């Protein structure tokens, strides 16, 4: 099951990732001397950090080393995707799994970010939200890492009460107190990360400082998704199971903001990258609604009407993605196992292509910004699918003039 997808911009990863620090030769020898057996009854299976250190490994193949280095190298024009899943399945298109990271909690959402947490001009990190109240930050330039480089929030202490079976939980300062359902990195303020949680709260984190700066409580039910405006990066949208979408300015969090009411639980939302004043929201009932913030009213006034209402799918629309190169091109993915492409011109949506990607129920889709007509698709079968949408004649005819030359492999 693939629950979330993030594209990594070309050139962001290190050409050759580092390998996580492993036990030194001295540490391993100390373990051997102490007689401790680690998951083995003999020394032949003892793990060594390299073949050079391992006295039981005698055959060294330079050709294999060269092939391994070539496989490990990420070229500047490679397209890299990160996805989180419960059990990975086979993928199609020209994909190669570069490396994997084991996450101990069930992942729900991701956000790629380049905030330079370890110095330099920029980094290559992935924020991961899960069933836990914490947010893990992983360095994607390190292979075989077993711990995140940073954890935002989380549980500080658990205690069983003396009487009864209830457990008393103490949370870290500023932490969410329930599952983290949505994440959004701010590309303009690169140290800023927004989070949405089942605890009904929206939080804004200073990742560089490792702390929560702002907590907002403007929803009355689980908050499913958050998104920063591309053109006004201080403006944040949040969508909730309370059947509302709220827009707030992160600089004045005490302001009530602006609210739009919808007819069902919010599943996903996205700002239009081609204009600062429109967004779409997808719902559990299979509809997608478009809104124009220029018609927004305060939370104390009747809600604004949508620019359009689209009956997109037969089941929940879990994910939406705008194409960054072609105005008015929107992709939707649903638990009805279908992915559809829509032309939103003049607020009169029309379906121009649809596909059953054989991914099962579709939970996450994302257009690439570097190769904007490549659409990544993940679903219940755990298969990562890549749809070259320009291969569809209707898409090519309508939006082909916005395409860029794209012959690079996907990693």
- What's 383's DSSP letter? -
Q: Residue 257: which of 303, 206, 320, 188 has the closest Cα? A: 303
* Topology (CATH level 3) of domain 2-17+74-399: Methylamine Dehydrogenase; Chain H (2.130.10)
The answer to whether residue 41 scores a pLDDT higher than 80 is no
Summarised one tens digit per residue, pLDDT across range 313-324 is: 999 999 999 999
Phi, psi for 184 (deg, rounded to 5) = -150, 120
Least Cα distance to 380 among 333, 342, 320, 345 occurs for 333
308 forms beta bridges with: 290
With beta carbons less than 8 A apart as the criterion, state whether 7 and 79 touch.
yes
Is residue 395 classed as helix, strand or coil in its secondary structure? helix
pLDDT band at 359 (very low <50, low <70, confident <90, very high): very high
Q: pLDDT class for 53, splitting at 50, 70, 90?
A: very low
- Distance CA(374)–CA(371), nearest Å, equals 6
CATH 2.130.10.10 domain extents, the chain: 2-17+74-399
What's the whole-number mean pLDDT along residues 50-68? 51
pLDDT: which is higher, 367 or 297: 367
Question: Is the Cβ–Cβ distance between 342 and 352 less than 8 Å?
Answer: yes
Q: Is the pLDDT of residue 222 over 50?
A: yes
Tell me how far apart the alpha carbons of residues 410 and 97 are, in angstroms, rounded to a whole number. 10
Reported pTM = 0.84
- pLDDT of 233: 97
Specify the range with the lowest mean pLDDT, choosing from 205-214, 229-238, 302-311, 363-372: 302-311
Q: What is the pLDDT of residue 209?
A: 96
The mean of the pLDDT values for the chain is: 85
Mean per-residue pLDDT, 280-305: 84
Per residue in 77-101, pLDDT tens? Answer: 777 888 787 765 555 555 666 667 7
Average pLDDT over residues 134-151: 91
Q: Name 10's Cβ contacts closer than 8 Å, sequence gap at least 6.
A: 76, 77, 78, 79, 80, 370, 408
> Alpha-carbon distance 282 to 334, whole Å?
10
- Average pLDDT of span 378-391: 95
Pairing of strands 155-160, 167-171: antiparallel
Percent of the chain at pLDDT above 90? 63
Contact assessment for residue 106 and residue 100, using Cβ atoms and an 8 Å cutoff = no
Q: How far is CA 259 from CA 2, 149, 343, in A?
A: 31, 36, 26
**401 Rama class: left (phi>0) / alpha (psi -120 to 50) / beta:** alpha
């Amino acid at each position: 099951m693939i629950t979330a997808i993030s594209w990594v911009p070309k050139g962001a990863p290190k050409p050759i990732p580092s390998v996580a620090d492993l036990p030194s030769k001295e540490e391993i020898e100390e373990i051997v001397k102490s007689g401790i057996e680690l998951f083995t009854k003999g020394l032949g299976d003892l793990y060594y950090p390299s073949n050079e250190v391992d006295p039981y490994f005698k055959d060294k193949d330079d050709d294999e080393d060269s092939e391994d280095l070539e496989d490990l190298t990420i070229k500047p024009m490679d397209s890299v995707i990160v996805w989180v899943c419960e059990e990975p399945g086979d993928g199609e298109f020209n994909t190669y799994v570069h490396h994997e990271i084991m996450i101990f909690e069930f992942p729900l959402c991701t956000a790629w970010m380049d905030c330079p947490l370890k110095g330099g001009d920029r980094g290559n990190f992935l924020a991961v939200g899960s069933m836990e109240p914490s947010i893990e930050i992983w360095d994607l330039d390190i292979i075989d890492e077993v711990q995140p480089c940073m954890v935002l929030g989380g549980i500080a202490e658990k205690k069983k009460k003396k009487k009864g079976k209830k457990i008393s939980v103490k949370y870290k300062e500023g932490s969410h107190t329930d599952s983290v359902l949505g994440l959004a990195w701010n590309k303009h303020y690169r140290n800023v990360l927004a989070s949405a949680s089942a605890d009904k709260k929206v939080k804004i984190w200073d990742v560089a400082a490792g702390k929560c700066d702002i907590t907002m409580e403007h929803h009355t039910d689980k908050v499913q998704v958050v998104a920063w405006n591309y053109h006004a990066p201080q403006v944040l949208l949040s969508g909730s199971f309370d059947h509302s979408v709220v827009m707030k300015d992160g600089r004045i969090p005490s302001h009530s903001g602006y609210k739009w009411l919808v007819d069902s639980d919010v599943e996903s939302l996205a700002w239009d990258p081609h204009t600062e004043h429109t967004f779409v929201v997808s719902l559990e009932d299979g509809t997608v609604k478009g809104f124009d913030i220029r018609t927004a009213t305060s939370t104390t006034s009747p809600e604004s009407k949508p620019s359009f209402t689209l009956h997109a799918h037969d089941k929940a629309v879990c994910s939406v993605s705008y194409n960054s190169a072609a105005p008015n091109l929107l992709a939707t993915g649903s638990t009805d196992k279908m992915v559809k492409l829509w032309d939103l011109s003049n607020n009169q949506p029309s379906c121009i292509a649809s596909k059953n990607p054989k991914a099962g129920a579709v939970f996450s889709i994302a257009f690439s910004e570097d190769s904007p007509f490549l659409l990544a698709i993940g679903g219940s079968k755990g298969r990562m699918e890549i749809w070259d949408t320009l291969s569809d004649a209707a898409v090519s005819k309508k939006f082909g003039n916005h395409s860029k030359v794209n012959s690079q492999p996907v990693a």
